[in-house]
Amino acid sequence: MFELSKDHEDFRAAVRDFAEKEVDPHVAQWDKDHHLPLDVVAKMGEMGFFGLVVPEAWGGSAETVDGVVQSDFTALCVAIEELGRIDQSIGITLSAGVGLGINPILIFGSDEQRDAWLPDLVAGRRLAGFGLTEPDAGSDAGGTRTSAKREGDEWVINGAKSFITNSGTDITSVVTVTARTGTSDSGRPLISAILVPSGTPGFTVEEPYDKLGWNISDTHGLSFADCRVPASNLLGGEGEGFRQFLKTLDDGRIAISALATGLTQRMLELATDYASTRTAFGRPIGANQGISFQVSDLAVMAETSRLLTYKAAWLKDQADRGQRSSAEVARAASVAKLYTSEAAVSATRIATQVFGGNGFMEEYPVARFYRDAKILEIGEGTSEVQRMVIARHLGLPA
């Protein structure tokens, strides 16, 4: 559990080579231009990054043994970590493309829905989004206000979504939208997930956000005004949306942990190199205890983040094979997400301090990572939500 397999390490080397050659030389300009390079997304598809958890029947690399899919979530985390080490936006494009785009269809969809959407998503020819967050329903995801009313053989959707990744690119094909579809006998809202293809009348992708960070990542608000889709676009059964998005978020939290780990690792590398070469008072600044202790803290953060992330990923892979419980995965996912995201924010602050005035300049990558880090404590469940989840798993009163 404390060492990845040779196959995983060989895969890491391949992803790192790809990220350093295809992304690193261009990423500063893409960040300035707020440009998501779709040709890079296509290359990621060609290399199989989007298909690591998808069975071969839909173009992925996961084998099926005795009816059980042998998906490799650990390998997906390796890819996200290595991409995130170079750029967080490219990393989240993969993370959201699989965790929020592919997985809901793969896990909860019918074979007909999988046949219709997965091959292009796995190949990187298309991207998909997951419309959960709303202007008045973020951490309170159960407070969804978007509604879907059944009229004959159609769902009629009205409402709005916020901060939806991969929802407005030129290759976005579909967004899974959570909506209220009725009320249970106990008076609770029934939340269902519905597939809404891009270009559907009544489905509007708003202008891209002007964000603090993740400038390369595609992020939009969405609105629905009498948007009609076939009744067959329901994902799973009616009223199952709440359970579906909780499962989706558990997996997503591990992926965000991998993204955060890549960032912290890069801060360690950049700070170590700078502290070894930058001189002041006649010697490298790394010779000063005040600097060396800070860089040492980065090493501890990076190693701890990696251990927590891959423990959670391993549990996820084991649970998919029926060998560990979903509760173990959920707890490990929240522990990993809480620590790694907060460590990443601290790591960028420390690295920027090591760089001094240069750390405040956009020509140095630590500035970009500093801007990118904060969202890690917010997306896929805030740090406060993670502490709530952990407390519940400890048996503390709700």
**Which CATH number is 170's domain given?**
2.40.110.10
pLDDT at 140: 83
140 and 123 in one domain? no
Tell me: do 226 and 297 sit in the same domain: no
- 1 within some domain: no
How far is it, in rounded angstroms, from Cα 132 to Cα 242? 10
Question: Angle, nearest 10°, between helix axes 289-320 and 73-86?
Answer: 150
Rounded to an integer, the average pLDDT of 81-92 is 98
Residue 12's closest CA among 56, 68, 76?
Answer: 76
Instruction: Tell me if 69 sits within 8 A of 320, measured CB to CB.
Output: yes
The CATH number that applies at residue 360 is: 1.20.140.10
The domain total for the chain is: 3
**What is the arithmetic mean of pLDDT over 294-309?**
98
Mean pLDDT rounded to a whole number for the chain? 96
At residue 69, does pLDDT exceed 80? no
Whether the per-residue pLDDT at 251 is higher than 60: the answer is: yes
* R_g (Cα) of the chain, nearest Å: 21
- Judged against a pLDDT cut of 60, whether residue 262 lies above it is answered with yes
Please tell me the distance from the alpha carbon of residue 41 to that of residue 89, in angstroms, as a whole number.
12
**Lowest-pLDDT range of 61-65, 281-285, 389-393:** 61-65
233 occurs within a structural domain: yes
Please write the tens of the pLDDT for every residue from 133-177. 999 988 887 789 999 999 999 999 999 999 999 999 999 999 999
- Same domain? 282 vs 318: yes
> Phi and psi dihedrals of 140, rounded to 5?
-85, 65
* In a shared domain, residues 216 and 279: no
83 and 50 within one domain: yes
| Listed residues 177, 211, 239: the one ending a domain | 239
> Element (H or E) spanning 221, and its range?
strand 219-230
pLDDT category at 339 given cuts 50, 70, 90 is: very high
The arithmetic mean of pLDDT across residues 257-268, rounded, is 98
Percentages (nearest 5) of helix, strand, coil residues in the chain: 55, 20, 25
Domain end residue (candidates: 239, 269, 298): 239
Give catalytic status of residue 380 as yes or no: yes
Nearest to 276 by CA among 268, 203, 194, 70: 268
Marked catalytic residue, from 22, 81, 342, 380:
380
Question: Highest-confidence range of 135-139, 317-321, 332-336, by mean pLDDT?
Answer: 332-336
Q: Which domain holds residue 294?
A: 242-393
pLDDT of residue 261: 98
Q: 139 with 232, same domain?
A: yes
Q: Is residue 304 part of a domain?
A: yes
* pLDDT band with cut points at 50, 70 and 90 for residue 2: low
Indicate if 256 and 143 belong to the same structural domain. no
pTM: 0.96
Does 85 share its domain with 134? no
> Are 376 and 343 found together in one domain?
yes
Is the same domain home to 253 and 330?
A: yes
> Last residue of a domain, which of 65, 94, 127?
127
Question: Residue 192 corresponds to which tokens in the numbers above?
Answer: 């269902």
173, 270: one domain: no
- Residue 398 covered by a domain: no
pLDDT score recorded for residue 184: 85
Give the CATH number of the domain where residue 26 resides: 1.10.540.10
* Local confidence band at 70 (pLDDT 50, 70, 90 cut-offs): confident
Q: To 10 degrees, the CA torsion angle through 219, 223, 227, 229?
A: 30
Are 18 and 123 within one domain?
yes
